[in-house]
Structure 1
Amino acid sequence: MTWEVLSMIGTIAFAISGAIVAMEEEYDIFGVYILGIVTAFGGGAIRNLLIGVPVSALWEQGLFFQIALLSITAVFLFPNNLLRHWQKWGNLFDAIGLSAFAIQGAMYAEKMHHPLSAVIVAAVLTGIGGGIIRDLLAKRKPIVLRAEIYAVWAILAGFMIGLEIATESWQLYTLFVVVTVLRVLSYTFDWKLPSRSLEVSQTIHNQKQIGG
């Protein structure tokens, strides 16, 4: 029951984030619903394909779809009121969703006796897959892959479950709290992974054109 509540929070957070991005890009109401639903359930759909769970299993989550649709509708009808609260609590709800979804994705793969690599991939795809699809549909660079430490915490969840370090209920709940806190700390203190950009000077570019 507790996991279902946490998953509901994650579903609401991801659905709202998808709807907000769609409205920022000035999509119509159809686009708002599509982006909201894809953000909430896209990662789980891809995970199911990769680990051998029928994609149709998603349709068994009727209550979660209803919650997502209600959340999207609320954002569309009352954007100004909800956005004020979202700016204050959105990151926390998103962290809860990331943690709950990543752990559940890893548990799906572990129960099917997949290897560690598959468990980690399942955790990552469930936790961040929807956000990546959302950004790609909105023609944005996926935020979860460049701006902040995000996917790393999903990898941590998959690693702990894949190695069977966290198996008991209390261990899974502890892992959930740890991943959530780490995500909150990472955006609070603006933690970032090392990155490097490649800049090609105009001179080199011109030389290639001349040489070509």
Structure 2
Amino acid sequence: MTFDVLNVIGTIAFAISGAIIAMKEDFDILGVQVLGFTTAFGGGTVRNLLIGIPIENIWAQGNLFVVVFLTIIVIFLVPDRWWIQYWNKWGIFFDALGLASFAIQGAFTAVQFGAPLSAVLVAATLTGSGGGMIRDIFAGRKPMIFREEIYALWATLGGLMIGLGLIRGPWMTAALFVAIVALRMLSVHFKWRLPRHAIS
């Protein structure tokens, strides 16, 4: 039940993130909806395709689709001044919740389907951060996960621990969840970045 709630929170947070970027890029209402849905469900969809989960499983989340649709409509209609200040303050935290919950769910889903370790890593990474990557590509931006503070790596490491069988039971799963959220927030606070080598 806890992870179902976190799944809803993460999905809504990612949908809002996609909608905000779409509005910043001056998309119309259809574009805002497409980008919001892509951010919320894109990672899970790609994961299912890669590890052989029936793609129609995505459509089983009917109620969540309705919630995301209505949330994006509200974000589109409410004036910026009413919500943007709160999103700027809490958006990264909710995004971290989504990253952690989706990465863990993606990894466990792959394990349940008997996928090899490499597929578990891909499932965790894509479920946690794939939607944001697709969002940035659709918006004509360089993917944030490759140039900002460490993001996708925490999802990958979480998937590695699950794939190696180091995470067993609800308490260890909860501890992993907290660790991913904490590491993501510390990355933002201290501006941790992976090494880069720019060529001029």
User: Which TM-score applies when normalising by structure 1?
Assistant: 0.92
Q: Give me the whole-angstrom Cα distance separating, in 2, the residues matched to 1:76 and 1:167.
A: 42
Rg: which structure is higher?
Answer: 1
Q: Provide the secondary structure at the position in 2 that maps to 1:194.
A: coil
Aligned twin of 1:163: 164
Q: Provide the secondary structure at the position in 2 that maps to 1:97.
A: helix
Q: Give me the whole-angstrom Cα distance separating, in 2, the residues matched to 1:75 and 1:67.
A: 12
- Unpaired runs of 5+ residues, structure 1, are 200-212
Kindly report which structure 2 residues correspond to 1:87-102, keeping only aligned pairs within 5 A, or say none: 87-102=88-103
Q: Give me the whole-angstrom Cα distance separating, in 2, the residues matched to 1:162 and 1:48.
A: 17
Code of the aligned partner of 1:193: L
Q: Give me the whole-angstrom Cα distance separating, in 2, the residues matched to 1:115 and 1:7.
A: 24
Q: Give me the whole-angstrom Cα distance separating, in 2, the residues matched to 1:116 and 1:5.
A: 27
Q: Give me the whole-angstrom Cα distance separating, in 1, the residues matched to 2:159 and 2:95.
A: 18
Cα deviation, 1:136-171, whole Å, max 9, x if unaligned, reads 000000001111100110011100100010021111
Code of the aligned partner of 1:44: G
Kindly report which structure 2 residues correspond to 1:191-206, keeping only aligned pairs within 5 A, or say none: 191-199=192-200
Identity across aligned pairs (percent)?
55
Aligned twin of 2:126: 125
1:144/1:150 contact within 8 Å kept: yes
Code of the aligned partner of 1:88: K
Q: 1:79 to 1:7 in 2, by over 3 A?
A: farther
Q: Give me the whole-angstrom Cα distance separating, in 1, the residues matched to 2:88 and 2:27.
A: 21
Q: Provide the secondary structure at the position in 1 that maps to 2:150.
A: coil
Aligned twin of 1:134: 135
Q: Give me the whole-angstrom Cα distance separating, in 1, the residues matched to 2:55 and 2:183.
A: 31
The structure 1 segments of at least 4 consecutive aligned residues displaced by more than 6 Å after TM superposition are: none
Aligned twin of 1:203: none
Q: Provide the secondary structure at the position in 2 that maps to 1:8.
A: helix
Aligned twin of 1:63: 63
Count matched residues. Answer: 199
Q: 1:79 to 1:57 in 2, by over 3 A?
A: farther
Code of the aligned partner of 2:41: F
- Unpaired runs of 5+ residues, structure 2, are none
Q: Give me the whole-angstrom Cα distance separating, in 2, the residues matched to 1:17 and 1:147.
A: 16
Q: Give me the whole-angstrom Cα distance separating, in 2, the residues matched to 1:174 and 1:64.
A: 26
Structure 1 residue 97: Cα displacement:
0.2
